[in-house]
Amino acid sequence: MNTGGTVSLSWTGGGSYSIGVSFAAPFGSFSISAAIGKAGVTGVSANIPRGGRWKVYTRSVYSCKPYVVYRVVNGKRTLWSRNLNTLPEWNKFDISVRKV
């Protein structure tokens, strides 16, 4: 019988995923690999309502931005390189509980 409680999600252990994204020329592409997580004793927590079966869902939003580097010599600006940031910033994280 489910009497309710809290489940904690740890980012260590569990599975992982990878996703790749390509930008238009000349920026190229990048990929993200991250842990899916598993039930644990550290990390973030979700309250589980009483009764029934429940699933815990997580959602992370990442962004990766192209950027341009210019070189300035004697006041003259020239294109140095076009790149993508290699470490996507973690913008948002949500955790929710849904009845199955």
What pLDDT, on a 0 to 100 scale, did the predictor assign at position 73?
94
What pLDDT, on a 0 to 100 scale, did the predictor assign at position 18?
79
Handedness of CA 7, 39, 34, 12 (dihedral sign): positive
Instruction: Match 């009483």 to its residue by tokens.
Output: 50
Distance CA 29, CA 23 (A): 6
Instruction: Match 């931005």 to its residue by tokens.
Output: 65
Query: Which residues, given as ranges, of the chain have pLDDT below 70?
Result: 1-3, 10-13, 35-43, 86-93
